[in-house]
Amino acid sequence: MVNTLIIVGGQWGDEGKGKIVDYLTEKADLIVRYAGGNNAGHTVVVGDQTYKFHLIPSGIIHKDKLNIIGNGTVIDPDVLVKEIEDLEKMGYNIDDTKLMLSSSAHTILQKHKDEDNPETNANSKKIGTTGRGIGPCYKDKIVRTGLRIGEYTHSGTRAAKKLNPLVRDTYIIINDALKKQKKVLFEGAQATLLDIDHGTYPFVTSSNPTAGGALTGSGVGPTNIDSVIGIFKAYITRVGGGPFATELGTEQETKNEESILDLKKELSEEAMSRLKRKNIKRANEGNEYSQGRLLRIQGYEYGTTTGRPRRTGWFDVVAARYAVAINGLSSMVMTKLDVLQNLKEINVCVAYEIDGKKVVNFPLDIKKLAKARPIYETLPGWDEAISKVKSFNDLPKNARRYVERLEELCESPISIVSVGPKRSQTMVLDNSTLF
């Protein structure tokens, strides 16, 4: 029986963790966000309502669930207060029966945001940080000059007064829940390839979004964990700079694209449909940039806040097996399978070629990774729309084969397949690693 479950992103983020966390939260008693700050976002769709979370665990929209922002996070008080007040305007009562903050989490101050500004900090611009002060805050934590949220909330500011009733030594609450065998869900932000230790350094975040970070970021021991689930898109995306072996088109081509916000302003619905049809045609003629843009359009691969396009590429098995290994994954979840519709052929990267040699293990040397050229296995695609399909067996044969082949190549079972953002668009293949 699974009582404790860690959810991690298996790629470079934006895999749809929020939707899966929301889905699994139905059976959870306690949801813990263990790392990162408001440089990450989860979008959850419930009925006709869309929720966008940056700090608060997405379990907050469920009744009778306690949500904890753990000690491994960094908190911008103003951002968190706005998120709380936005929920309150929607009718949610946010008190310490619904939300708690670890007294040991660190506080993002204005100086951290100033230091992180990509306009004035060349390194932030190169890496592609969000400029929200995350890195500088973690830096102060490491050199022991940071301000913990427990201290901050006695400062007398408006945000401090709002947050103070929610602050606790949360490790006590979490471990007490474990003793009572309650179901605890540990929710990660960002993803494996952005991990400060295990990611594509220096193009990484400043925390440990991998499974180990759930332990240090919440105050629980490894023997308490029953299952670790990795979330993977049926393809892969990346935001910001850094090597990307399976990228479709170039980073510069993607940067040159208009944001989705501008496109929607400039183009009618019919014009957007024509743009999509044009990219379908070119994608199936083998144009890599159009393949990448089609994934962007069909998967709405644009930043939640900025609308800027994400870099897109084919599924990378080399990177996925690495994520399976270092997280000790019990199973994988595949999201956005529906986005691959309209492609006659789908490539899957099964190995790299680096300096003329075949490489099957993910290289940690960033220079080697930058030289990596994908070795592809090509699988047949499908034209059928699958977003309304309820059962795995009812998927088109080629869609089923795609999932089964990735399961074989990644050497990990796939427990859930998602074909859309709603809870109802979720297929459970095997619940043995789930609540």
Per the CB < 8 A criterion, the answer to whether 335 and 232 are in contact is: yes
Backbone angles phi, psi at 381, to 5 degrees: -95, -160
Q: Could you give the angle at the alpha carbon of 247 between the alpha carbons of 241 and 250, nearest 5°?
A: 70
Rg of the chain over all Cα atoms, to the nearest angstrom: 21
Per the CB < 8 A criterion, the answer to whether 182 and 29 are in contact is: yes
- Whether 198 is catalytic is no
- Whether 14 is catalytic is yes
Among the listed residues 22, 29, 42, 198, the single catalytic one is 42
Which of these, 220, 221, 229, 179, lies nearest to 32 by C-alpha position?
220
Which of these, 25, 2, 428, 1, lies nearest to 187 by C-alpha position?
25
Among the listed residues 14, 116, 140, 195, the single catalytic one is 14
Burial of residue 148 (number of CB atoms within 10 Å: 0-12, 13-18, 19+): middle
Here the contacts of 120-129 (C-beta below 8 Å, separation 24 or greater) are 126/241, 127/202, 127/203, 127/204, 127/240, 127/241, 127/242, 128/203, 128/239, 128/240, 128/241, 128/242, 129/39, 129/240
Which residues are marked as active site? 14, 42
